[in-house]
Amino acid sequence: MTLPANATLLGFSLAALSLVLTANAQTASGEGVRQVPVKKLFPYYDLYLGLPPQDRDGFYLEYLIQSSGANVRPRMFYALGSVRTPVQIDSKGKILNMPDLAMLRQGKLEVPASAPPGRIVLNLEPVVPLGRTIPTSAVSNSVTDYAKAIGRAGPLALAIPKLTGIAFKGVPGGQAVFADGRRVSLPIEAGIPVFRPSHATMRGAVSLEFPAVPSQAEFAR
């Protein structure tokens, strides 16, 4: 399979994640498949799993397979020793059953040799409960956990965007509410309200309030 996987994080193309899987693929004899080290399909995921659970509960990594063939979802398998496990992919291409550390370190990915070209997309998603009122502690946890992860990434940190806030899509604006009752409007960036916990005007806020439930929360630079 020819799969030039241009992994993308939050819409930013990262040269460090650019992978040509077939460059390291081995053709399994007589089976019409190519084998690729699982770790090459999931950049950064080993680092993510290596974080203490309390330092990664504020965000997660989402991997998607995008194929150039319309509505084509190649049937792929994780292979470790004699055990083969189907890779579960939803209608959007999101990989549902992520590998564990043993599979990441030793496993192979089996891909049909005849599958159309495609790419891997890596999304970084914050864990923020959506509602008209959102505790700032939940939002700050996502930003803090991400910053801790970057701090542990070593030289790779140079290729990773520095993300300091959370943007709330699907609403025209929002307010930060303080314990003394004060309210401060969230800054609007590219038409989207953004909360940055470290910003001087936002420090001490206890909750965020919106005119409606945001449709999505995502990291913001």
pTM of the model: 0.77
How many distinct structural domains can be found in the chain? 2
Same domain, 72 and 140: no
- pLDDT tens sequence across 23-72: 344 444 445 888 889 998 888 898 899 899 999 999 999 999 887 655 55
pLDDT band at 150 (very low <50, low <70, confident <90, very high): confident
Please count the helices (runs of H) and the strands (runs of E) in the chain.
Answer: 4, 17
Among the three residues 94, 125, 156, which one is the final residue of a domain in this structure?
125
Q: Are residues 114 and 143 in the same domain?
A: no
Which residues constitute the domain of residue 24? Answer: 4-125
